[in-house]
Amino acid sequence: MEEAVISKTTKDKIIECITYFFIYSFLGWLIETIYAMFVHGYFVKRGFLFGPLCPIYGFGAVVLILATKKLYKKPFLKFLIATIAFTLFEYMVSFILEMLFGLRWWDYSNDFLNIQGRVSLLYSIFWGVIGLILLEKLHPFIQDKIQKITKGHVAKHMQEIICFILVVTVILDTILSAIKYLN
Protein backbone atom coordinates (compact mmCIF):
# COMPACT_ATOMS: atom_id res chain seq x y z
CA MET A 1 0.00 0.00 0.00
CA GLU A 2 2.86 2.37 0.80
CA GLU A 3 4.30 1.93 -2.74
CA ALA A 4 1.03 3.18 -4.28
CA VAL A 5 1.19 6.35 -2.18
CA ILE A 6 4.81 6.97 -3.14
CA SER A 7 4.20 6.42 -6.87
CA LYS A 8 1.07 8.62 -6.75
CA THR A 9 3.08 11.38 -5.10
CA THR A 10 5.82 10.99 -7.69
CA LYS A 11 3.22 10.92 -10.46
CA ASP A 12 1.64 14.10 -9.08
CA LYS A 13 5.04 15.81 -9.01
CA ILE A 14 5.75 14.78 -12.61
CA ILE A 15 2.35 16.04 -13.77
CA GLU A 16 2.98 19.28 -11.88
CA CYS A 17 6.38 19.74 -13.57
CA ILE A 18 4.88 19.00 -17.00
CA THR A 19 2.12 21.53 -16.34
CA TYR A 20 4.65 24.20 -15.36
CA PHE A 21 6.83 23.31 -18.35
CA PHE A 22 3.97 24.04 -20.74
CA ILE A 23 2.84 27.20 -18.96
CA TYR A 24 6.34 28.68 -18.93
CA SER A 25 7.15 27.49 -22.47
CA PHE A 26 4.07 29.35 -23.69
CA LEU A 27 4.83 32.45 -21.61
CA GLY A 28 8.40 32.39 -22.96
CA TRP A 29 7.09 32.21 -26.51
CA LEU A 30 4.77 35.13 -25.72
CA ILE A 31 7.64 37.21 -24.30
CA GLU A 32 9.82 36.40 -27.33
CA THR A 33 7.00 37.24 -29.75
CA ILE A 34 6.17 40.56 -28.07
CA TYR A 35 9.88 41.45 -27.93
CA ALA A 36 10.31 40.62 -31.63
CA MET A 37 7.22 42.64 -32.55
CA PHE A 38 8.61 45.58 -30.60
CA VAL A 39 12.04 45.33 -32.26
CA HIS A 40 10.85 44.56 -35.83
CA GLY A 41 7.46 46.24 -35.83
CA TYR A 42 5.65 43.13 -37.08
CA PHE A 43 4.98 39.51 -36.11
CA VAL A 44 8.08 37.31 -36.25
CA LYS A 45 7.77 33.56 -35.64
CA ARG A 46 9.93 32.82 -32.63
CA GLY A 47 11.44 29.58 -31.46
CA PHE A 48 12.30 26.21 -32.92
CA LEU A 49 8.86 24.61 -32.85
CA PHE A 50 5.90 25.20 -35.12
CA GLY A 51 3.59 25.70 -32.14
CA PRO A 52 3.53 28.59 -29.66
CA LEU A 53 6.12 27.19 -27.26
CA CYS A 54 9.74 27.99 -26.46
CA PRO A 55 10.82 24.90 -24.51
CA ILE A 56 14.02 26.57 -23.32
CA TYR A 57 11.83 28.75 -21.07
CA GLY A 58 9.80 25.79 -19.82
CA PHE A 59 12.84 23.66 -19.00
CA GLY A 60 14.67 26.61 -17.47
CA ALA A 61 11.72 27.57 -15.28
CA VAL A 62 11.13 24.03 -14.01
CA VAL A 63 14.83 23.50 -13.25
CA LEU A 64 15.00 26.84 -11.46
CA ILE A 65 11.84 26.16 -9.43
CA LEU A 66 13.17 22.77 -8.34
CA ALA A 67 16.71 24.04 -7.63
CA THR A 68 15.59 26.96 -5.47
CA LYS A 69 12.72 25.26 -3.66
CA LYS A 70 14.34 25.65 -0.22
CA LEU A 71 15.74 29.16 -0.62
CA TYR A 72 13.07 31.12 1.25
CA LYS A 73 13.77 34.83 1.67
CA LYS A 74 17.09 34.69 -0.17
CA PRO A 75 16.39 36.79 -3.29
CA PHE A 76 20.02 37.57 -4.09
CA LEU A 77 20.93 33.89 -4.04
CA LYS A 78 17.92 33.13 -6.27
CA PHE A 79 19.04 35.89 -8.65
CA LEU A 80 22.57 34.48 -8.71
CA ILE A 81 21.40 30.91 -9.33
CA ALA A 82 18.99 32.09 -12.07
CA THR A 83 21.72 34.14 -13.74
CA ILE A 84 24.25 31.31 -13.76
CA ALA A 85 21.79 28.51 -14.57
CA PHE A 86 20.03 30.35 -17.41
CA THR A 87 23.34 31.55 -18.89
CA LEU A 88 24.80 28.03 -18.89
CA PHE A 89 21.55 26.59 -20.24
CA GLU A 90 21.31 29.24 -22.97
CA TYR A 91 24.90 28.58 -24.03
CA MET A 92 24.35 24.82 -24.10
CA VAL A 93 21.10 25.05 -26.08
CA SER A 94 22.65 27.46 -28.59
CA PHE A 95 25.62 25.14 -29.07
CA ILE A 96 23.46 22.02 -29.49
CA LEU A 97 21.05 23.68 -31.94
CA GLU A 98 23.94 24.97 -34.01
CA MET A 99 25.65 21.57 -34.03
CA LEU A 100 22.46 19.75 -35.01
CA PHE A 101 21.02 22.20 -37.54
CA GLY A 102 23.84 24.58 -38.46
CA LEU A 103 21.61 27.54 -37.47
CA ARG A 104 21.63 30.15 -34.74
CA TRP A 105 18.36 31.18 -33.18
CA TRP A 106 20.04 34.12 -31.40
CA ASP A 107 23.36 35.91 -31.69
CA TYR A 108 24.80 38.29 -29.10
CA SER A 109 28.07 38.86 -30.97
CA ASN A 110 27.61 42.63 -30.90
CA ASP A 111 26.84 42.72 -27.16
CA PHE A 112 29.40 43.67 -24.52
CA LEU A 113 31.09 40.70 -22.83
CA ASN A 114 29.61 37.95 -24.96
CA ILE A 115 30.90 34.41 -25.28
CA GLN A 116 30.90 33.27 -28.90
CA GLY A 117 27.70 35.28 -29.42
CA ARG A 118 25.80 32.59 -27.51
CA VAL A 119 25.48 34.45 -24.21
CA SER A 120 26.25 37.96 -23.02
CA LEU A 121 26.51 39.87 -19.77
CA LEU A 122 23.42 41.96 -20.56
CA TYR A 123 21.21 38.93 -21.22
CA SER A 124 22.69 37.01 -18.28
CA ILE A 125 21.61 39.83 -15.97
CA PHE A 126 18.24 39.96 -17.74
CA TRP A 127 17.78 36.20 -17.16
CA GLY A 128 18.67 36.65 -13.49
CA VAL A 129 16.03 39.37 -13.10
CA ILE A 130 13.43 37.31 -15.01
CA GLY A 131 14.30 34.28 -12.85
CA LEU A 132 13.86 36.29 -9.66
CA ILE A 133 10.50 37.68 -10.84
CA LEU A 134 9.46 34.15 -11.77
CA LEU A 135 10.40 32.72 -8.38
CA GLU A 136 9.18 35.57 -6.20
CA LYS A 137 6.01 36.71 -7.99
CA LEU A 138 4.88 34.75 -11.02
CA HIS A 139 5.34 31.16 -9.88
CA PRO A 140 3.59 31.54 -6.51
CA PHE A 141 0.62 33.09 -8.35
CA ILE A 142 0.52 30.36 -11.02
CA GLN A 143 1.07 27.62 -8.43
CA ASP A 144 -1.89 28.90 -6.41
CA LYS A 145 -4.15 29.01 -9.49
CA ILE A 146 -3.13 25.50 -10.62
CA GLN A 147 -3.79 24.09 -7.14
CA LYS A 148 -7.26 25.68 -7.08
CA ILE A 149 -8.07 24.36 -10.57
CA THR A 150 -6.86 20.81 -9.86
CA LYS A 151 -8.65 20.23 -6.57
CA GLY A 152 -10.49 16.93 -6.60
CA HIS A 153 -10.01 13.64 -8.42
CA VAL A 154 -11.78 14.61 -11.67
CA ALA A 155 -9.75 17.80 -12.06
CA LYS A 156 -6.48 15.91 -11.41
CA HIS A 157 -7.49 13.23 -13.90
CA MET A 158 -8.26 15.89 -16.53
CA GLN A 159 -4.89 17.51 -15.84
CA GLU A 160 -3.20 14.15 -16.50
CA ILE A 161 -5.08 13.72 -19.80
CA ILE A 162 -4.28 17.28 -20.91
CA CYS A 163 -0.60 16.82 -19.99
CA PHE A 164 -0.46 13.55 -21.93
CA ILE A 165 -2.01 15.18 -25.02
CA LEU A 166 0.36 18.16 -24.77
CA VAL A 167 3.43 15.93 -24.36
CA VAL A 168 2.48 13.85 -27.41
CA THR A 169 1.79 17.05 -29.37
CA VAL A 170 5.13 18.64 -28.45
CA ILE A 171 7.00 15.42 -29.31
CA LEU A 172 5.36 15.40 -32.75
CA ASP A 173 6.04 19.13 -33.15
CA THR A 174 9.70 18.58 -32.22
CA ILE A 175 10.05 15.76 -34.76
CA LEU A 176 8.38 17.78 -37.54
CA SER A 177 10.38 20.89 -36.67
CA ALA A 178 13.65 18.94 -36.65
CA ILE A 179 12.81 17.48 -40.07
CA LYS A 180 12.09 20.98 -41.37
CA TYR A 181 15.44 22.33 -40.17
CA LEU A 182 17.39 19.27 -41.33
CA ASN A 183 16.16 19.68 -44.93
- What percentage of the chain exceeds 70 in pLDDT? 96
Domain with 132, as residue range(s), is 2-182
* Choice between 72 and 174, residue whose per-residue pLDDT is larger: 174
User: Model confidence at 183, in pLDDT bands (50, 70, 90)?
Assistant: confident
Nearest alpha-carbon partner for 75 in 132, 124, 127, 128 = 132
pLDDT (mean) for 138-153: 89
Cα–Cα distance between 91 and 93 in angstroms, integer? Answer: 6
User: Model confidence at 8, in pLDDT bands (50, 70, 90)?
Assistant: low
Q: What is the mean pLDDT of the chain?
A: 90
Nearest alpha-carbon partner for 123 in 67, 83, 80 = 83
pLDDT (mean) for 61-67: 94
User: Model confidence at 46, in pLDDT bands (50, 70, 90)?
Assistant: confident
- What percentage of the chain exceeds 90 in pLDDT? 71
Number of domains in the chain: 1
pLDDT (mean) for 54-78: 91
Q: Is the pLDDT of residue 154 over 50?
A: yes
Q: For position 7, what pLDDT does the model report?
A: 55
Q: For position 29, what pLDDT does the model report?
A: 95
Cα–Cα distance between 47 and 53 in angstroms, integer? Answer: 7
Angle, helices 55-67/75-101, rounded to nearest 10 degrees: 140
User: Model confidence at 76, in pLDDT bands (50, 70, 90)?
Assistant: very high
* Choice between 114 and 44, residue whose per-residue pLDDT is larger: 114
